[in-house]
Structures are given as structure tokens and as C-alpha cells.
Chain A
């Protein structure tokens, strides 16, 4: 392997038009052992395969790959099996071909025979060596693939879900073998279950939508965040129900949730924005964008009632024409709200469960007793977030990103007709952004809540949000 290590610079790769990796920048240095994580279909196996020379390069560069690269993956396994089948089909003789015996697949000139023998013993492959490769079971094939790869004495070993399909004993044996191998051989692992990650892994990256995100050193904090992200992305959790007793009054589904007519905010002689007409109908998810200072937050707070000038504008929200004796709490109960400012405001010494329950009361901190059912719903949300074990810990002890996730759950706990997310990713690192977006996408997919999403990072696009209002150029799309 080259001293400079393996470098992927702006690499884009196509896989038969079925999948694409986009603009990957990745540096694998000597001594690093990488773990690739991601949801199903995110592209982590594709990225691993690229290192083994698969795919058609569309752009960018890949350099520093060592001579001997070995890969074990279901795709490689399937390919080998397909190759065997083709061999069979190609056989014009009218005899039943047994196909290549397993032994011939392992004991080849370019492999270390002694090591291959040792591995066969380890995996209990010896009795199977004379059987045809394609007659082996999936698990047996996998063991054979591993033995093949390992005995080739690779300089770079790529293992895509190596533990899948192995029995417990074989998993343990493989793991201890890999531990020994890690001293001399660089490895890239793809795993779906983080708990399987071997201790020798030094670096982790998160793959999503064919792109590489969040290359991080494996330390405890990063590890916990990744675990949470995996949980949100890959577990099949339902959003907890609203409070069955204290239900929101139902709204007319044919009426707009929000209607602003010629909305204007000004301070003294400074006009922040003026004459904005905006109607938000149930089920229309909106994105609000605009440069700093264009008044995004001011516009939102006219809707939420937090802006004092809401009383001098023509605003109808949830059937209330503002300024006619309604209280702010009658408005807020229909809205879930998350912003960086809220997080700054949320500085009360209370625990995680109470923070979620406070969403039922639209309060910062919890000032009333809650019902058992509300407590159970809060716990169900903590389960969604992967924070069940921390229900009674203080909110302030959470990381910044976890606090944000918890506040999103707080905003959602009552299943509000309108969920306002004011730059929900602001101030978050890439990993936490992924987490927040994963949670919001789950919510958008849930159906009953209309999402109003504010940001100026176009990268943080959320699937399911179609409508856009851009401030600064005040045109409703």
C-alpha cells in the first residue's frame, strides 16, 4: 500500500444505472480500520465494492489502492455463484456437471495453502471441500468466501457483513482471527448491527443517499450518536399516539391552517418584510427559505403568536382571527415548535421525560402534574429516540444534538396540526443533522401533521416537502 494511503477524491461511480455514489471524498490512511454504517440502500456496500474495483467511474479519482485487495460480500458471493452457473450453462456436454469443487476455489496458487488449511479447519469446512461450490449452503458458502479472502493475504480486506449467516461459534472464531489480522492488514467493514463492530475499528463513517457523511474517529460520544442514528434509520418504530383523553379540538380539513394577508413586520422605519400573503393548507408541507435577516423567524412568529406585531396584522390561524380575545395558549396548542432559540430558552432543570410531557402544555419546563398516560406516551417517544434508559436524567446533561431531538419529540407529542421547524439543524454537526432529518422524515411520513420547515441550507432537504416560500424575493411557490 502506498505511504499516502488510499484516496477517493470527488469520486462518482455508477452501478449499472441502478445506483450511484456521488462525489465521494474519503481518505484511508495506514493503520486505520474503517467501519461503514448506513441504512439499507444508503450505498455503504457500493462504496466498499468500489475499493474492490467494482462499478463504473463517472468522475473523480481513486488512488493508492494496494495490489492485493480482497472482498467478502453477498454481492461478490452472488457473482461467484452466478459465474459457476454460467460455467454450467456453457457446458455443452450432456453430462451433469457437478461444478467446481470447493477445494479448487481455495487452494489456488495465489493463496497461502497453509493458512487456507488452517482457516478450513477453523470454519469446519474440511468435510465440504470436495463438494461442488454451488451445492454449499449459504452459510457454508460464506465461510468459504472468508477463507478464500483471508488466505489471499490481502493488503486491504473488505468485509461486507462478514458475520451474517455465520453461526455463533464461527462468528467468534472469525472475530478473533480478524483481531490478529488487524495488526498487519488494513480492513474496511460494512455492518448493519453496530454491536458487532470489532474493537480494532478506528474510524467510522456514515453513508446515506450514495454520499459519505460524518467520517469520525470512533470514540464513545460519536459511537453513541451513530447508534442512535442507526436506530432511527433502521428500526421499525411507530410514532407514539397523542393523549387519548386531552385531545385537541378537531379542525375543518377544508380550511386553511394559516392565512396571512399582507403580513408586514417593521421596527421603527425599518421594514423587515411587507405585504406577504400566505396560505398553508392541511397536508401541504412548506419550506421557508431566505438569507439571514430576511425575516424568516419573524414571519413564523406571527403565526405562532410569539411576535407582538401579530396583533396588528391580518392573521387567521386555526380558525382564530387574531386579536379578538383569544389567548395565546389557544393558538399554541395547535402548533409544535422547534428552533435553536427554543433550545437556548429551554434551560430548566428538568428530566427528559418531563421535557417531552411539557409538549402537552406548550410550556418550557413542566408546571403541572401529568397523567400516567402522558408519562407512558413520553416514554414511548424516548424509545423512538433511543433514549429510554435516560428518562430521568437531567435535560441539561444531554448533548446539544440530543437536546434538539428531544425538543422535536416534545413538539410532536400532541400530534399538532402544524409543526414549525425553524432551522432545526442549525448549530448541529453533520451526524446530528442526519439524526434530526431522519426524525423529521419519519414525522412527515406520518401524515397528520403539516410541516413548516425553515432553513437556508439547501443540503438539508427533507423528503416530502414540496412547497417553498422564499423570503427576500417574496413569491409564494
Chain B
């Protein structure tokens, strides 16, 4: 998933979608909109899903030239909109913000964000007709109404940019033929997009061109220049397709990235309390534990994360994760199937049409869980202790990453995409939990990701009920109390081999290798 792009991190939450009359049913013109992916023949579906390529730095030697002197007008001045705009302007590009008349008149936060930062702010009518590139950085659920509002105003031969493909792929938005449609999706929250740029770096970014809307063949050049303008080229750019982005992004965010971490947090906390572990300790172990163990994942994949455990603990974590993978496999498959055939998006859009009743209800439920309500204790927990006392959490991360990856690739998403939407982004989401628990995670990710996360959680918690019954505090909360850390050689070799030969590890090693000369030197 891409935070903004992907799990589409944004700060527009809570804004009423109804104000903008977003729903297909509200607008007769849109009733014909259909799931774009489902309209394609299988041949093209397979081809689009398989698009994902790591681009090399020398492909960006033209810098921002393709955009120099062009008018870029951003719609949406939340975290992504504002921070991308700040970066683009600091890269020498001409950026302004188009807001609804009401947002300007009422001096809403979006107006303040844009004007206090010295940007030109105007209405759609004032700014869109002069725009060479319109950057749609609003939340998914506003896309339809926003695009329908701006499209008639856009000049001939201009460009419309998205940072998530939901509107095109799942809602089937049809953009005027003369307009170039691209996607530039920084794979981090807006605040990070800015912070990394200021550091002189950037965040990994996914770019794509909507093949149906590339009338002059300039889409890729524009997307590349945009990525340079936000600093993304320094951190690594993936060239993908709208379809691959959406289908892999939705899958990743619902399962391993947000769903698994939420389910794991709730189950592990309740188990520790049941086992008599101090609640403050349990709360802290989970809140910061995901971040700590997935940091190891970031550097050296599942293998390195598992290698941080003692040999006996590693073998136990391996066995636990294999059990969980068998139990959860059908759930992962169901999520992927529902994403592929559009069931997921139509279910969610129905909730949009029902004033987000399910989403808001689940959000309130999450706030009432014991984990969420128990503050982290003030004891010290060393970095290694998070592994030693969090064996089950490590096993859950391994199970979720591998299952998500296996399920995505089985569905035709290529390994590169599957890697980025599973393993690569897990530490980013874990970091949001460390900041303020599940509340922060769900506040930071998009409503789309949040909705999918709750769907997963509601299915997964009961699914793991029997598995959790015999679990004791040795694997979650207190650590193995062994006098002898000896293990059987043959068994250890078997486990190490299984870890290292998993396909997510093979592609991970390759991609991390590509990134080596771009990545920060540590």
C-alpha cells in the first residue's frame, strides 16, 4: 500500500463526503461508471498487474524540466497536498492551490495551510482553466466529485495527476481523451514526504501512466519530473500501472500492514493480561514492539527479523507462524479475491453511501479495546527484549508478510509490487502504532485502508481464537525461560533454509540491493 498513495495516508479524515455529492448514484452522469479493471480482457488484466519496475537514477537526468514553467494546481491541501506542493515549489516549480469557494470564504484549514505558506489560492474556476497539471490530492472518496467538478474546467491537453488509482480502477472514472492521466504516489505520509525532502532525500515513490489517457505520450516524462520535484527519485521510483498499484495496495493495507498489526495487537494484549503480565508492560511491548521488530525487517527481511531471536525462540516462532499461515490463508485469499473482482470496493462504496456507518462504528469499537485504553508503562524495555518477549509478534509479522506476498503473487501481481506492498511498508505502519497506538495508525491511513483493516480484523480475531488458546506468556510477554538454549542442528538448518528461500526474501534481497546506492548510507 502506499501510505498516501497506498494506504493513502491523508489528513482529510472526517470531512464529510456528502457535501460534495460524491456518490455515483448522486449523479446521473456517473451511473455508467463501472469497475475499470473488470472491463478489461484477461490478457490486459494480467499484463497490467505485472507492471512494476525499479527505475534507475540515471532515468531522471532531465530533472524537473518537463514541468518547468508549467502551472501546477493542487486540489486538496491536507498533509499530502500541502507537503508535496512545498517540495515542488522548492524544486523551482509553479504551484498554486484550488479550493472550493466555501473553503476560502470560511477560511477553512485547507485555506490556512495554503495561504500561510505563501501559495496562491483560488477557486476551481479561477485556477483550473490555466493549469497545465492538476494534482488531485484529495481522499479517495472525494475523487469522483472532484474530478467531475474540475474536468470541464481543464484546458485542452493538460494533465490530471492522482496519487492513488482507486478512482480510475475501481470506480471507472472516465477522463476526457485529451487529458493525460498519471499517478505519482509517494509511499509515505505527507509529513515524511516533506521531512525527507528537507533532509536532501525523498521517499520511495510509485509512478504510473493511465494508458487510456496518454494522448501525446508525455505521461511518463511528466510523472518522472513530478517525482524529481518531490525528491522521490533519490529514494527510488517504481514504474507501475494504475491497476497493479490499486490491487496490490488494497491487499497489502488490509492484510499484513494494518489488519494483521491490529489483530495482533488486540490478541497479544489480551493474552498477556490473561497470563498475569503487567498491563502497562503488555501495552508498551506491543505499542513499540511492532516498530522494533519490523525495523529488523526493513534492514534484512524476514530472515534478519527472525535471526534476532535466539535459536530456540526462532524455531518456536517459525512453527507458530506456519500454523497461523495455514489458518489464515483462506482469509488472505478471500481479501485478494474480493479486491480483484471489485467486491471489496463496491462494499466499501456502499458504506460511503450509508454515511460511513460501518467505518465509524468500527472506529469507535477499536477505541474501546483494552489495548487501546491501557497506557504504555514507563518501564524500560531494551531493543532485544522486544524480540525475546515478543516471539508471537515476530511470528505474526512473518506469517502476515509471507501470506500477503504469496497471495498477491498467486493472483498475478508481480513480486516487485508484492514486496513493496507487504514487507517494505510494514515498518512505516508499525511506526504509526508506536506514535499513538491503533488510533494513530487508523488516523494516518486512508479511509479505504482503515475500512479494509477493520474488515480483516473482524474476520481474523475469531479465526485465531483456537490458535490463541494454548498460547502462554513464554512466547508473548515473558520470554522463554530456558536453562539450555540448545537446539537440534538439523531442525535449525531446516528452519533457516525455509526462511531464506522464501520468494519474498529473494526479491527483497534483490530490491534492497538496487536501492543500495540510493539509500541513505548508514
Contact = CB atoms under 8 A, between A and B. Distances in A.
Interface stretch (A105-113, A204-212, A323-331): A323-331
Interface stretch (A21-29, A138-146, A307-315, A433-441): A307-315
A120 to B, nearest CB: 61
Interface stretch (A167-175, A358-366, A405-413): A358-366
A362 B116 CA distance: 26
A328 B118 contact: no
B117 A348 contact: no
Interface string A299-313: 000000110111110
B91 A328 contact: yes
A402 B240 CA distance: 45
Contacts of A305: 90
Size band of the interface chain A makes with B:
20 to 34
Contacts of B69: 325
B108 interface: no
A364 B200 contact: yes
A73 B224 CA distance: 73
Contact of B86 (A267, A308, A368): A308
B247 interface: no
B482 interface: no
A366 B92 contact: no
A354 interface: yes
Nearest to A311: B118
Contact of A362 (B89, B200, B234, B522): B200
A349 interface: yes
B201 interface: yes
Given A305-B90, A308-B86, A310-B118, A361 B521 contact: no
A17 interface: no
Contacts of B327: none
A345 B199 contact: yes
B68 interface: yes
A273 to B, nearest CB: 15
A326 B234 CA distance: 19
A184 to B, nearest CB: 46
Contact of B92 (A325, A345, A369): A325
B112 interface: yes
A367 B90 contact: no
A294 interface: no
Given A268-B112, A345-B199, A367 B521 contact: yes
A358 B69 CA distance: 30
A188 to B, nearest CB: 43
A316 interface: no
Contacts of B93: 325
A37 B518 CA distance: 47
A308 B118 contact: yes
B230 to A, nearest CB: 12
A311 to B, nearest CB: 4
Nearest to B522: A349
A268 to B, nearest CB: 7
Contacts of B355: none
B198 interface: yes
B116 A267 contact: yes
Contacts of A368: 517
Contacts of A312: 118
Interface in A279-327: 305-306, 308-312, 325-327
Contacts of A367: 200-201, 234, 518-521
A310 to B, nearest CB: 7
A403 interface: no
Contacts of A268: 112, 116
A348 B520 contact: yes
A331 to B, nearest CB: 9
Contact of B200 (A310, A350, A363): A363
Contacts of B200: 329, 358, 361-365, 367
Contacts of B91: 327-328
Contacts of A362: 200
Contacts of A310: 118
A367 B57 CA distance: 12
A329 B201 CA distance: 12
Interface of A: 267-268, 305-306, 308-312, 325-330, 345, 348-350, 354, 358, 361-369
8 contacts: A308-B118, A311-B89, A327-B91, A345-B198, A354-B521, A364-B199, A367-B200, A369-B517
Interface of B: 64, 68-69, 86, 89-94, 112, 116-119, 198-201, 234, 517-522
Q: Which 3 A-B pairs have the closest CB atoms?
A: A363-B200, A308-B117, A364-B199
